[in-house]
């Protein structure tokens, strides 16, 4: 698998740029991905979603489905796509350092 260098750290990623080892995540990764995804500056709302995803993944080992993500995070679907234009799976999960979701996130 390929590696990318972020803030002087070598990070293993899959073919789509998702972090292979979620335990290697740090906030600099989220900033790196945000820039790559064209998101720009991460706001408090972005961090709310990222933190929710990280917590959910730590408890379950999977990313939540989009409906659950919106309901439990309190962020409506429309706003989710405003925050992460490439979508919750590609943008939000990638920022959170989760592996590429296999289902509908």
The whole-model pTM stands at 0.92
Question: Percent of the chain having pLDDT more than 70?
Answer: 97
- Residues 70, 93, 95, 104: which is the catalytic one? 104
Q: Domains of the chain: which residue ranges?
A: 3-95
Print the SS3 string covering the chain. CCEEEECCEEEEECCCCCECCHHHCCHHHHHHHHHHCCCCCCCHHHHHHHHHHHHHHHHHCCCCCHHHHHHHHCCCHHHHHHHCCCCHHHHHHHHCCCCCCCCCC
Catalytic site includes residue 104: yes
Domain 3-95 CATH superfamily: DsrC protein, C-terminal domain (1.10.10.370)
* Model confidence at 1: pLDDT above 80: no
Through-space distance between the first and last CA atoms of the chain, rounded to whole angstroms: 24
Predicted pLDDT of residue 103: 60
Predicted pLDDT of residue 101: 84
């Amino acid at each position: 698998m390929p590696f990318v260098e972020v803030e002087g750290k070598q990070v293993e990623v899959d073919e789509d740029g998702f972090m292979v080892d979620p335990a290697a995540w740090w906030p600099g990764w989220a900033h790196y991905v945000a820039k790559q995804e064209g998101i720009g500056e991460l706001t408090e709302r972005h961090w709310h979603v990222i933190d929710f995803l990280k917590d959910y993944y730590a408890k379950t080992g999977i990313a939540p489905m989009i409906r659950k993500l919106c309901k439990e995070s309190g962020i409506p679907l429309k706003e989710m796509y405003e925050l992460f234009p490439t979508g919750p799976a590609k943008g939000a999960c990638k920022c959170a350092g989760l592996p590429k979701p296999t289902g509908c996130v």
